[in-house]
Amino acid sequence: MALLPILRFPDPRLKKVALPVAKVDDSIRKLVADMAETMYEAPGIGLAATQVDVHKRVVVIDVSEDKSALQAFINPMLSRCEGSQTGEEGCLSVPGIYDKVERAESVVVTYLDLEGKEQTLAADGLLAVCLQHELDHLNGTVFVDHLSLLKQTRIKNKLAKQARVTA
């Protein structure tokens, strides 16, 4: 396994739309393992392949307290979204920034597992939010895109300042 570099907003590669995985094979399983290691190290609860500059429809999520419930979603698609909830979100590609985002309260996602078998999962709460957040990444959307233009500008300026300070 290897740690992968995480792209930082406003990197234009975060806007790329990920392509479907044609076949779940060892290279995809290695990508999932590397993404999981990267996510845990960051630390985070979700990571989309887009965030590590791999433009394939692959997501890893673990919302457990003890990092014991890793889930991999290959070619995930939301087939149902219901209700509404607003909660604070953060993102490994937008470090140190948190803001409120409105999301569906419950979702149903269809995806391929690591064996290439189709699965369906109903989710609510944090897992539903995480799925929506990570699928946004696969479609070239970062959570700050859901915020006002004023907030987006402030976030870009804050991150640019952080980059100058650490350079």
- Give me the active site residues, please: 134
What does the alpha-carbon distance between residue 91 and residue 164 come to, in Å, rounded to a whole number?
20
Give the up-direction half-sphere exposure of residue 113: CA atoms within 13 A in the CB hemisphere.
8
Angle at 93 between CA 7 and CA 72, to 5 degrees: 90
Q: Do 83 and 105 meet the contact criterion of CB atoms below 8 Å apart?
A: yes
